[in-house]
Amino acid sequence: MSQRVTPRLPLGALRDEKPWLAIITAVCFTLLASGCVSSPPENLDNLCKIFEEKDDWYEEAKASADKWGTSIPVLMAIIHQESKFEADIKPDFEWFLIVPLGRASSAYGYSQALDGTWDGYIKSSGNWGADRDEFDDAIDFIGWYNATSYRRNKIKRNDAYHLYLAYHEGHGGFEKRTFKNKAWLKKVAKKVSVRATKYKKQYWGCAKMLKEDTGWFF
């Protein structure tokens, strides 16, 4: 009986194929990695449209609101101001002439939480696996921070204007009224308050549908 011989490619052909394999692997890895970061919603000005597009966000926002006491519109207005719902956003680099000095701060993610503040949240909340570029963790962080502002700074749970001032300046800074002479910051806090009111009115129009989970989610 004759022995069956399996045909083999010449060694040169194998060498020729390896670069293509490496390129294909690299492209696939890049696409996979980029797909892990959630893109911002298309319509940032309409809370109902945001929840329609991002079908997990409503439940995650509601969980934070129920847990910490800040309403969904206020939570979402703060995220809008901080990151425009970009998951992995960081502050720009600061420069001296052509020399990069590093980023302005360690702020990162949806909530733009600083490293130290985020660590404090994790230890306080017990959310040990939390990531700043995950929406559910970021909105839980904002709820936690506002709850601290309520306890420590006596700010009403849905006073978007003063909650944002405390969010930006820190609880100690708010106590010292470091925002007092910052007209620009007061304008930003006012914008957050106006957006929270706008989101609240929109939320009234779709809250029932969201709660009943009909029409939008599958």
Each residue's pLDDT expressed in tens, for the chain with a length of 218 residues: 444 444 554 544 444 444 544 444 444 444 444 445 679 999 999 999 999 999 899 999 999 999 999 999 999 999 999 999 999 998 664 545 555 544 456 899 999 999 999 999 999 999 999 999 999 999 999 999 999 999 999 999 999 999 999 999 999 999 999 999 999 999 999 999 999 999 999 999 999 999 887 444 43
In a domain, 178, yes or no: yes
**What 8-state DSSP symbol labels residue 215?**
S
CA–CA separation, 31 and 103 (whole Å):
27
Q: Is residue 82 part of a domain?
A: yes
- DSSP structure string for 139-200: HHHHHHHHHHHHHHH---TT-HHHHHHHHHHHHHHHHTTTTTT-HHHHHHHHHHHHHHHHHH
How far out from the chain centre does Cα 72 lie? 14
Residue 102 phi/psi, 5-degree rounding, is: 105, 175
Phi, psi of 98 (to 5 degrees): -110, 10
- Asked if residue 31 belongs to a domain, the reply is no
Number of domains composing the chain: 1
Assess if residue 10 is contained within a domain. Answer: no
16 is a domain residue: no
User: Is 24 a member of any domain?
Assistant: no
Q: Is residue 207 part of a domain?
A: yes
Q: Rounded to whole angstroms, how far apart are CA atoms 214 and 218?
A: 8
Task: Please give the backbone phi and psi of residue 94, each rounded to the nearest 5 degrees, phi first.
Answer: -100, 145
Instruction: Let me know if residue 41 belongs to a domain.
Output: no
CATH code of the domain containing 66: 1.10.530.10
Could you tell me the residue range of the domain that residue 199 belongs to? 47-212
Cα–Cα nearest to 57, from 35, 80, 34? 80
The model carries a pTM of 0.79
